Amino acid sequence: MPASLTLLLADLQLFPPAASAQAGPIDDLYWFEIIVSAIMTVLIFAAVILFAWKYRRRANVRATQIEGSNVLETTWSIIPFLIMLIMFWWGAKLFFAAQNPPKDAMEVFVTGKQWMWKVQYPDGSHEINALHVPVGQPVKLTMASEDVIHSFSIPAFRVRHDVVPGHYDSLWFTATKPGRYRLYCTEYCGNAHASMSGWVEVLNDRDYANWAGGGSHGSLAEQGQQLFEQNGCSTCHLLDQQGRCPILRGVYNKPVQLDDGRTVIADDSYIRESILDPNAKVVSGFQPNIMPNFKGQLSEEQVIQLIAFVKSLSPPTPASQQGGQQRPVVIAPKAKAPAKAPAASAPQQ
Amino acid sequence: MATIAHGTPEIAAEEVNYLNVEHGWKSWLFTTDHKRIAFLYLISITAMFFVGGTMAVLFRINLLEPEGIFSSETYNRLFSMHGIVMVFFFLVPSIPATLANFLIPIMIGAKDLAFPRINLLSWYLYVFGAIFTIYAVARGGVDTGWTFYAPYSSTYSNSYVLSAVMGVFVAGFSSILTGLNFIVTVHKMRAPGMTWSRLPLFVWSNYATGLLQVLGTPVLAISLTLIAFERVAHVGIFDPNIGGDPILFQHLFWFYSHPAVYIMILPGMGVISEIVACFSRKRVFGYNFVAFSSMAIAVLSFFVWGHHMFVTGEAMYTSVAFSFLSFMVAVPSAIKVFNWTATMYKGSVSFDTPMLYAFGFIGLFTIGGLTGLFLAALATDVATHGTYFIVAHFHYVMVGGMVMAFLGGLHYWWPKITGRLYPEAWAKFAALIIFIGFNLTFFPQFILGYLGMPRRIHAYPPEFQALNVLSTAGASILGIGYLIPMIYFAWSIRKGPKAPANPWGATGLEWEIQSPPTTYNFDETPIVTKEAYDYGPLEEVVG
Amino acid sequence: MSAFHVPIPKVGTLVAVWATLIVLTGLTSYVSYFELGEWNIVVALLIAVTKASLVAWVFMGVRHSTTLTRLFCVAGLAWLMILILLTYSDYSTRNWTYQAQPWSTNKAAGTSR
Amino acid sequence: MLGMWTFLITEVLFFGGMFAAYAVYRNMYPDAFASTSKFMDVVLGGTNTAVLICSSLTMVLAVRAAQLSKRAHLILFLILTMIFGTIFLVIKGFEYHSKWVEHLVPGFDFQYDEPRYQHNAQILFFLYFAMTGMHALHMVIGLGLLTFLLVQAKRRIFNENYFAPVEMIGLYWHFVDIVWIFLFPLLYLIGHRR
């Protein structure tokens, strides 16, 4: 017994490692909350114990009837409220900062399915329940779910985001300490929910370069290109001349005019939707119901490969790197130049 | 105070009361007496509490070993049924359907609730709901968690979701009818002179609870109905494959289920107000503020549900608004804690069992409430969402708060309900055991949560074992702690010493009538001339 | 129970309200044949609210009811609005982005504990 | 009476959940929504609205008759209300039947003539059936309650001192009418010009 007890205690952890850029600031807030809570708890416990003992029932001492006090009530409403305002503001500020990844973030794709995490890298390598990232480099995870809601969580980085089927979710972090950290699914997703966990390996630059060495199947974009041809996409989406469907070169992250007059950005989510449910948002000037529905035909991983291929058709220029976050006014969409209905497209921007 | 019984002249043994006025099972199953219905509820929710509690002990045993001891299938069903049974069949009806059902009419000087037959109907609905749920358990259980998140519950789970959803749906209507009954009763049935500012705080808090039940529960009902449709006919309402949005289910679900947290805790707050006043021999400090804060909680609780969804991809600005509103709702809760503490100031405090539970409540609810702030703040919510931190937080509120208050209230009014006294020494011992067991069970879970241990997993990394073993050890102590009152209460119904009308020297109409009360509570409608906590003059008599 | 304080409505009033409701039904159907863009929804809902208020005010007797009953009516509507508007706020602002200053990698790397 | 009002608040929120879902999906899929409106029969819907308004009038007249102890009138108006209610349900039945024939019932071999809206239209049709179905269910319950009133009226239970049940069921009936007053424009009218 004592032996096993020591074993247990040897593993005992009380506070998680902080291994990302956001972990420090979030821990600061966490400690602030702990200190405030501790002070409040101690005060209340002390007051309860003090009053209970000092005014304990005695033979001929009577309670003094007190109505209450508006001054006191106001004080102990406003002071906690002000402290809570600090927490609110602080928490919101950190939350806002976690919303948008830096422009130079490395992109990694994560697909959750019952019951594993599949990770794909731009260079075409992939792994299950493991994620390798270089230290000091912002990493953006683009995440999709094949089935139910999962939640991707790396406690040491203090990051977590649900992965809801039907669209992409994302989170980002910058790992700051080389090492191995656990990753989990924290949204209950069925029978083997517990086994949907693994390791994040944060590597220093040299180790990362060694690890990233071999993608034998070609890059993600090349894998996407294969799919593009195998599935017959290339028969309509011609690469250099107008076919029955829009040219995809240069489309990525650019505004696209739709047939109902709206404009959307051709980002990951839009391209994903256009593959799985092509009729949902048809580009202006093209016929609906031409492209087959690939829902159920392609896995989320394959969709990610296709998106990488489409992305590779728009080589990053300084302008297009900015483009995703800006208003869609400036750039005239190339892709919408339609063969069939030229009149509809020109004047509206 | 149990020792009073020793010297009390024996109350005429044959005195007619609501318990002995009629005999036979028919007189119970067809009764419309709110006190008998409360008793029926008490038996049924106790049964459900032990069903849910057994499951908790079982899955805590599973967590002794990092790899788990049972299969993941068994574990998932255990925790899901634990949640469903405890939330919908114990916590939601616990105080309203038992203590409040028994006491509200008496406290306001009425003969019964406004709709006695609806009251009985609500008990039958509860029983039918429980039967559906038990049926689901018997067939093999449900593995969706009590939250029934789509699309897992609607499409993927192959367990008995429909039956459980039916059970919760039906029990929901039981809850609506109880709330409706309380609202109308408090508005229409108050005795002459029982103004709103003379209402006991227990009535205030249950009135606020009634509003929550009436306004929130129907939305739960409709969201569960939609889940059922989706499951049966694959209509696509929450199925992302045809454009449905699973997040919509969460909006609808939490629109009820966050206020439901206050359905569970508000009545407990009411009980604590009564107990603290009685055992300090003082009126509650800042009566108006405590009453008002009940209403403020009831209203504000409907504006905060989005804080369950900060990491789902909920719109950023919506999240910020929900975060702010979540902090707002903490203010009235804090006001209550401060006022209870201040009530003891210059009081005459005695340490009877109900007061021990009140101490436990104040302490544990403080911790539960403060850890809620971690979850209202956006950044720390992201870091703790879906982990054991959440589990610990809501158990501190629900078990540390509500169950403590329920037990405190049950001890406090037990002499009134049954006309018998319980063994005080055993009761104090049990209260202590429960307090220790509770903290040992749930405090380690805060640490586990920030370390990142996800909730609802049947196997976990070995470095978490020490804390999990502690937690399971605590759970077994807690389990024993709950068994002790069960045993002595059962004993005291038959063998306990007879209770006088007012064993605690408390104020309030319920203590002015005999224990147990007669069927119609009052021989003639009382006329109220003083406030609820008029301990000043009473002191001279009792003290 | 309310026999003594509920005035008995005049048949004329009731029929007039009924006629108004029928006219409004016709109006809302008629208007829906015109393309008004977003205003179609606004007009349709305005007319529906008017009709519902008429039914509540006259047919359901809110005009003679106690403050309490009116309070309950208002509460019901207010809660319906809470449900719909707060849920809707999520969906309608999903695309609003906010360009916050992300954590400066270097600085944070230096201070990480 | 307060109990009935409280119950109606519950009902408001019960339907409210579906209205919230409607608002969300309408906002999400405006085109699919517009395309479904060609299957909504404005004439039948409008007729049904009128029928329900008439039933509300007869209901309020029934309450008035009860208040005035005019038993014959009470019975007459109750029967009229029930007739209008039945007409409503019959028309609704025809609408449902035509949807059934056109394979527009989600979950039962749903086929939509515009493939691009196949999926999203299914959700919207489900909402249509859920909302109108729940409404129709309330109508059926209402008819049951009216039958109960009718029996009691025949037994001369009501007089100018006791007519609370008539009043309460009246409130319920008007509430069901109000729900339809919103369903009609939302399901039938908005978007049928897009």
Residue B398 has pLDDT above 70, yes or no: yes
Q: How far is D20 from chain C (nearest CA, A)?
A: 5
- In a domain? residue D109: yes
Residue B493 has pLDDT above 80, yes or no: yes
Q: Among A54-63, B486-495, D7-16, D71-80, which stretch is predicted with the lowest mean pLDDT?
A: A54-63
Residue-range domain boundaries for chain B? 36-542
Residue A216 has pLDDT above 80, yes or no: no
pLDDT at C111: 36
A273: its two tokens: 């939707």
Phi, psi of B171 (to 5 degrees): -60, -30
Our CA dihedral for B486, B488, B494, B497, rounded to 10 degrees, sits at -140
- Section A230-251 average pLDDT: 80
- In a domain? residue D66: yes
Phi, psi of A294 (to 5 degrees): -100, 10
pLDDT at B10: 46
Q: What percent of chain B has pLDDT over 90?
A: 79
- Section B57-69 average pLDDT: 93
| D120/A280 touch (CB, cutoff 8 Å), yes or no | yes
- In a domain? residue D130: yes
B359: its two tokens: 């101490």
Q: How far is D116 from chain A (nearest CA, A)?
A: 5
pLDDT at A122: 85
Q: What percent of chain A has pLDDT over 70?
A: 86
Tens-place pLDDT, residues D96-146: 999 888 888 887 778 887 777 877 888 889 999 999 999 999 999 999 999
Residue D88 has pLDDT above 80, yes or no: yes
User: Please, which pLDDT band fits residue B82 given cuts at 50, 70 and 90?
Assistant: very high
Higher confidence at residue A117 or residue A59? A117
User: Please, which pLDDT band fits residue A215 given cuts at 50, 70 and 90?
Assistant: low
Tens-place pLDDT, residues A101-142: 888 889 999 999 998 999 998 888 889 999 999 999 999 999
Of C68, C87, C96, the CB nearest to B316: C96
Residue A337 has pLDDT above 70, yes or no: no
Cβ within 8 Å of D, C 64-103: 68-69, 72-73, 75-77, 79-80, 83-84, 87-88, 91-92
Tens-place pLDDT, residues A179-210: 999 999 999 999 999 999 999 999 998 888 88
Name which of D146, A285, A181, A69 is nearest B342 in CA terms: A69
- Section B419-437 average pLDDT: 95
Residues of D in contact with C44 (CB under 8 A): 185-186, 189-190
Residues of C in contact with A176 (CB under 8 A): 108-109, 112
Provide ipTM, 2 decimals. 0.89
pLDDT at B124: 96
pLDDT at B155: 86
Tens-place pLDDT, residues C76-97: 999 999 999 999 888 888 877 6
Higher confidence at residue D36 or residue B404? B404
Rg, chain B, Cα only: 23
Cβ within 8 Å of D, A 287-306: 288-289
Question: What CATH number is associated with residue D169?
Answer: 1.20.120.80
Residues of D in contact with B318 (CB under 8 A): none
Residue D16 has pLDDT above 90, yes or no: yes
Tens-place pLDDT, residues C32-56: 888 777 788 888 999 999 999 999 9
Calpha distance D120→A279 (Å, rounded): 11
| A279/D120 touch (CB, cutoff 8 Å), yes or no | no
pLDDT at A274: 83
Tens-place pLDDT, residues B494-538: 899 999 999 998 988 999 999 899 988 998 889 888 888 888 775
pLDDT at D174: 95
Residue A343 has pLDDT above 80, yes or no: no
| B229/D130 touch (CB, cutoff 8 Å), yes or no | yes
- Section B239-247 average pLDDT: 87
- Section C96-100 average pLDDT: 63
Cβ within 8 Å of B, A 17-76: 25-26, 29-30, 33, 36-37, 40-41, 44-45, 47-48, 51-52, 55-58, 60-69, 72-73, 76
Calpha distance D76→D150 (Å, rounded): 9
pLDDT at D118: 78
Mean pLDDT of chain B: 91
The domain made up of B36-542 has a fold known as Cytochrome C Oxidase; Chain A (1.20.210)
Q: Which domain holds residue D123?
A: 2-189
Q: Buried b vs exposed e over A316-341: b needs ≥16 C-beta within 10 Å?
A: eeeeeeebbeeeeeeeebebbebeee
User: Please, which pLDDT band fits residue A5 given cuts at 50, 70 and 90?
Assistant: low
Cβ within 8 Å of B, C 31-70: 68
pLDDT at B217: 94
pLDDT at A124: 82
- CA B443, distance to chain mean position in Å, is 20
- In a domain? residue D64: yes
Per-position DSSP letters for D3-64, written without gaps between them:
HHHHHHHHHHHHHHHHHHHHHHHHHH-HHHHHHHGGGS-HHHHHHHHHHHHHHHHHHHHHHH
Residue A47 has pLDDT above 70, yes or no: yes
B278: its two tokens: 């009685």
Residue A144 bridge partners (DSSP): A111
Residue A263 has pLDDT above 50, yes or no: yes
- In a domain? residue D194: no
Cβ within 8 Å of D, C 9-48: 9, 11, 14-15, 17-18, 21-22, 25-26, 28-29, 32-35, 40-41, 44-45, 47-48
According to DSSP, the β-strands at A106-113 and A138-145 are parallel
Cβ within 8 Å of C, D 9-48: 9, 12-13, 16-17, 19-20, 23-24, 27-28, 42, 46
Name which of B10, B36, B11, B34 is nearest B23 in CA terms: B36
Tens-place pLDDT, residues B279-323: 999 989 999 999 999 999 999 999 999 999 999 988 888 999 999
pLDDT at B450: 93
B26: its two tokens: 């028919």
pLDDT at A341: 37
Residues written for chain B: 543
CA distances from B326 to A89, A131, B308, B321, B329 (A): 13, 35, 10, 9, 5
**How many independent structural domains does chain D possess?**
1
pLDDT at D35: 82
Structural domains of chain A, ranges and CATH numbers in brackets: 17-44+80-217 (2.60.40.420), 220-341 (1.10.760.10)
Asked if residue A305 lies in contact with residue A220, where contact means CB atoms within 8 angstroms, the answer is yes
pLDDT at C99: 58
User: Please, which pLDDT band fits residue A177 given cuts at 50, 70 and 90?
Assistant: very high
> What are the percentages of helix, strand and coil residues in chain D, rounded to 5?
80, 0, 15
Residue A345 has pLDDT above 80, yes or no: no
pLDDT at B263: 93
Residue-range domain boundaries for chain C? 11-65
Calpha distance B142→B137 (Å, rounded): 7
pLDDT at B309: 93
